[in-house]
Structure 1
Amino acid sequence: MLTVESLKKSYDDTAGRASGRRSDAGTRVFAVGGVDFEVHDGELFTLLGPSGCGKTTTLRSVAGLERPTEGRVTLGGRVLFDSKHGVNMRANQRGLGMVFQSYAIWPHMSVFKNVSFPLEVMPRAKRPGRKEIEDRVRQVLEVTELGAYAARAATKLSGGQQQRLALARALVTRPELMLLDEPLSNLDAKLRETMRFELKRLQRELNLTAIYVTHDQSEALVMSNRIAVMNQGRIEQIGKPREIYTKPATRFVAEFIGTSNFIEAKVVSVSGGEVQVDAAQGRLVAHGVEAAPAVGDTVLISIRPECVDLSRERRGDVPNEWSGTVLTRAFMGDVVDHIVGVGDLEVRNRSNPNLSIPPGTEVHFSVAPDKVTLVPVD
């Protein structure tokens, strides 16, 4: 549905040339340094990354709120932007719905008027009749569970209700594509968790196509059909949430999405999808390696803490078993984290709270070969 090709956005670098994202001439900083992706019909596609990675600039470029320096953006059969052919459709002509971080609801209007206003200000040739406007507003208010608050002042709504109001206002125009710029970041933690599932429900029920921008890894994993992880103006990896989490393509992705144990090792054997590596602390076997390295290559091993199986007793019949000493533990409610020392290496384990081993205890831990991920060395 949406295609973004070779998108770049640069700014004149008048003050901060130490940013590391200068052009060859050294006079411009690229906030977005060449981004390519597609968003499929009915998909919630998330741009995920830390502050300053270029995700919001990319979204605003799709919306028409920023003019890219280079690239091409198409939606269906329409060209929204093309730097080579001088095409730059105005934001109000693109027919996109957008929900901002601040919601931007109109405080002097009722809930009903907030939602009806985008229809009422349409050009006369496209503006629906009064009856159709009322019907469409009532429909989206019911879908967003705000029907009972139609006459209420917008400022009298709770934070979660205001977020849904901003969404209803964008939905009423029936846009081809929804753009959501960190819409949950102003909510408290508990409400934010509830609204993740609420937004996902609406997206599925209405078959919405949407681009969602966030820096919250949990939010992206819960809500997305696919995720694009961005870093310094570029996309490091695109994939389904489980794929991004279990098979990170780079060290940045492995570090940014959740928590990982990193171990540097050298490849000693490659056989089909099985790779054996030697680290300073011992040997590890990895299964299901898609892009196998060559013997002698140095690789970075990534192991998620929940994949480290901790035991007081040595089992001996399990692969990838190492011994160490518990250095510290932390009770976190639903899990307990143990830090295990193996020589000068510290390995984090995440376990059920029923397992809590005091510091100083000699332990043994193992990792299933299919949970050992090889990450290219940067």
Structure 2
Amino acid sequence: MLTVESLKKSYDDTSARASKRRSGQGARVYAVGGVDFEVHDGELFTLLGPSGCGKTTTLRSVAGLERPTEGRVTLGGRVLFDAAQKINIHANQRGLGMVFQSYAIWPHMSVFKNVSFPLEVMPRAKRPARKEIEDLVGQALEVTELAAYAGRPATKLSGGQQQRLALARALVTRPELMLLDEPLSNLDAKLRESMRFELKRLQRELNLTAIYVTHDQSEALVMSNRIAVMNQGRIEQIGKPREIYTKPATRFVAEFIGTSNFMEGKVVSAGAGEVSVDTAHGRMVAHGVERIPAVGDPVLVSIRPECVDLSRERRGNVANEWSGTVLTRAFMGDVVDHIVGVGELEIRNRSNPTLSIPPGTEVHFSVAPDKVTLVPVD
């Protein structure tokens, strides 16, 4: 449906402009350094990354609110932007719906008028009849569960209701593509969690195609069909949430998505999906490795805390079993985190709260070979 090709957006910094005046040349600062991705019909595609990684600039470039330096953007075969052909369709002519981080609700209008506004300001030739506007607004309010508040001033809504109002206003024009720029970031933690499922419900029921921007990894994992993890203006990995979490392609992805234990090592044997790695603290065996490295290659071993099996007794008949000492523990309600020291290495374990081992206790821990991920070292 949507295709983004070789998209770049650059800004000249102050020093570059000064240099340009002196020498006729100047370095460019790239907010987006060349990204490629496709969004399929009915898909919620998430751009995930830390502040400053270029995800909002990418979204605004698709919306037409930023003019990219290079690249091409097409929607359903229609070219929205092409730097080479000097095509740039104005934002109000792209037919996209957008929900901003700030809801931008008209405070002097009712809930109904806020939602009807995009229809009422359409060019006369495209503007629906008044009865059709009423029907479209009614449908948008119904699916967002705001029909009972149609006559209420918009400022009298709760935070979650205002977020749904902004969504209803974007939905009412029946856009081909929805763009959502961190729409839940202004909500408190409990409301934000419930709204994740609400938004996902709406997206599925209405078969919406949407691009969702967030820095919240939990939000991305819960809501997305696919995730693009961005870093420094580039996409590090695209994949389904489970794939991104269990098979990170780079160290940045492994660190940014959840928590990981890392060990540097060198491959000593490899073949048939099984790889053995020597680390400074012992040997690790990994099964189900998709990208088999060569013997002698440096790799980064990544292990999720919940994949570390902690025990007071040595079992001896399991792979990847090491010994260590509990350094500290933390009760977190639904889980208990233990930090286990192995020499200078610290391994994090995440266990059911029924297991709580006090600091100073000698323990043994193991990791199933199919839970060991090998990340290439650039």
TM-score, scaled relative to structure 2: 0.97
Deviation beyond 3 Å, 4+ runs, structure 1: none
Aligned to 1:258: 258
User: Structure 1 15/182 Cα, relative in aligned 2: closer, same or farther at 3 Å?
Assistant: farther
Amino acid at match of 1:5: E
Instruction: Measure how far apart 1:345 and its partner are.
Output: 0.6
Deviations 1:52-72, CA, capped at 9 Å, x for gaps: 000000000000000000000
Query: What is the percentage of aligned positions where both structures have the same residue?
Result: 90
1:82 aligns to 2:86 (yes or no): no
CA distance in 1, matches of 2:89, 2:8: 17
Instruction: Measure how far apart 1:329 and its partner are.
Output: 0.5
Deviations 1:115-137, CA, capped at 9 Å, x for gaps: 00100000111100000000010
Instruction: Measure how far apart 1:280 and its partner are.
Output: 1.3
1:57 aligns to 2:57 (yes or no): yes
CA distance in 1, matches of 2:77, 2:236: 28
Unaligned runs of 5+ in 1: 18-24
- 2:105–2:154: 8 Å Cα contact kept in structure 1? yes
Deviations 1:267-297, CA, capped at 9 Å, x for gaps: 1111210001111111111011111111111
Deviations 1:40-95, CA, capped at 9 Å, x for gaps: 00000000000000000000000000000000000002100000000000000000
Instruction: Measure how far apart 1:28 and its partner are.
Output: 1.4
Mapping of residues 335-354 of structure 1, within 5 Å: 335-354=335-354
CA distance in 2, matches of 1:16, 1:241: 39
Mapping of residues 27-66 of structure 1, within 5 Å: 27-66=27-66
Aligned to 1:274: 274
Mapping of residues 85-234 of structure 1, within 5 Å: 85-234=85-234
Deviations 1:185-234, CA, capped at 9 Å, x for gaps: 00000000000000000000000000000000000000000000000000
- 2:44–2:225: 8 Å Cα contact kept in structure 1? yes
CA distance in 2, matches of 1:11, 1:199: 34
CA distance in 1, matches of 2:223, 2:305: 23
CA distance in 2, matches of 1:287, 1:132: 59
Aligned to 1:310: 310
CA distance in 1, matches of 2:15, 2:344: 42
Say which SS state the counterpart of residue 204 (structure 1) adopts: helix
How many residues matched? 371
Instruction: Measure how far apart 1:318 and its partner are.
Output: 1.1
CA distance in 1, matches of 2:291, 2:349: 27
CA distance in 2, matches of 1:352, 1:29: 47
**Which piece of structure 1 moves more, 328-337 or 64-73?**
328-337
User: Structure 1 16/255 Cα, relative in aligned 2: closer, same or farther at 3 Å?
Assistant: farther
Instruction: Measure how far apart 1:27 and its partner are.
Output: 2.4
Say which SS state the counterpart of residue 170 (structure 2) adopts: helix
Instruction: Measure how far apart 1:16 and its partner are.
Output: 8.5
Say which SS state the counterpart of residue 27 (structure 1) adopts: coil
CA distance in 2, matches of 1:357, 1:211: 44
Aligned to 2:20: none
Aligned to 2:22: none
1:289 aligns to 2:297 (yes or no): no
Say which SS state the counterpart of residue 292 (structure 2) adopts: coil
CA distance in 1, matches of 2:297, 2:326: 31
User: Structure 1 75/339 Cα, relative in aligned 2: closer, same or farther at 3 Å?
Assistant: same
Instruction: Measure how far apart 1:15 and its partner are.
Output: 4.8
Amino acid at match of 1:256: F
CA distance in 1, matches of 2:81, 2:222: 31
Say which SS state the counterpart of residue 364 (structure 1) adopts: strand
Aligned to 1:71: 71
- 2:16–2:26: 8 Å Cα contact kept in structure 1? no
Say which SS state the counterpart of residue 186 (structure 2) adopts: coil
Alpha carbon RMSD of aligned pairs, Å?
0.9
TM-score, scaled relative to structure 1: 0.97
User: Structure 1 16/301 Cα, relative in aligned 2: closer, same or farther at 3 Å?
Assistant: farther
Unaligned runs of 5+ in 2: 18-24
Instruction: Measure how far apart 1:169 and its partner are.
Output: 0.1
Amino acid at match of 1:108: H
CA distance in 1, matches of 2:14, 2:40: 39
Amino acid at match of 1:203: Q
